[in-house]
């Protein structure tokens, strides 16, 4: 079964901030990815963390703690177009991506 977990669904308000958490368990680790996927479309790359800490990229930031097996994606100044599923995935020792089921983010005006 999957050893990577993230909430199924979250709701937030336009203009607000939301944090999507992801936890994982693996013996081999080569980085943590976040992807955005709009309904009916393919995933698109958002961020990559391989070292502990926060990576900031515009309105989106991603954090990693390798010792805790934990990452989060932080979205600021939410816009309606941010309504999508957010997928976290870790790269294992074989350099394959192991994907979470995704968090569906609903933005309300």
Partner 1 sequence: DTGVSQDPRHKITKRGQNVTFRCDPISEHNRLYWYRQTLGQGPEFLTYFQNEAQLEKSRLLSDRFSAERPKGSFSTLEIQRTEQGDSAMYLCASSPGGDIDDQFFGPGTRLTVL
Instruction: CB nearer to partner 1: give 29 or 48.
Output: 48
| Closest approach of partner 1 to the CB of residue 99, in Å | 3
| Closest approach of partner 1 to the CB of residue 15, in Å | 28
| Closest approach of partner 1 to the CB of residue 44, in Å | 7
**DSSP code at position 95:** S
Residues that bind partner 1 (CB under 8 A): 8, 31, 33, 41-45, 48, 87, 89, 91, 94-102
Hey, CA dihedral for 39, 108, 101, 53, is it positive or negative? positive
As a whole number of angstroms, the distance between CA 98 and CA 109 comes to 34
Q: Which residue has the tokens 């999507």?
A: 20
Task: Answer left, alpha or beta for residue 57, where phi above 0 means left and psi between -120 and 50 means alpha.
Answer: beta
Token reading at 71: 């990452």
| Closest approach of partner 1 to the CB of residue 94, in Å | 7
**DSSP code at position 56:** E
């Amino acid at each position: 079964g999957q050893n990577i977990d993230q909430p199924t669904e979250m709701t937030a308000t336009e203009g607000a901030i939301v944090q999507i958490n992801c936890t994982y368990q693996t013996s081999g680790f080569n980085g943590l990815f976040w992807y955005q996927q709009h309904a009916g479309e393919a995933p698109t790359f958002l961020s990559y963390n391989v070292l502990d800490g926060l990576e900031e990229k515009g309105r989106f930031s991603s954090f990693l703690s390798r010792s805790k097996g934990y990452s989060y994606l932080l979205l600021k100044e939410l816009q309606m177009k941010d309504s999508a599923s957010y997928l976290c995935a870790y790269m294992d020792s074989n350099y394959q991506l192991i994907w979470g089921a995704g968090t569906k983010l609903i933005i309300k005006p």
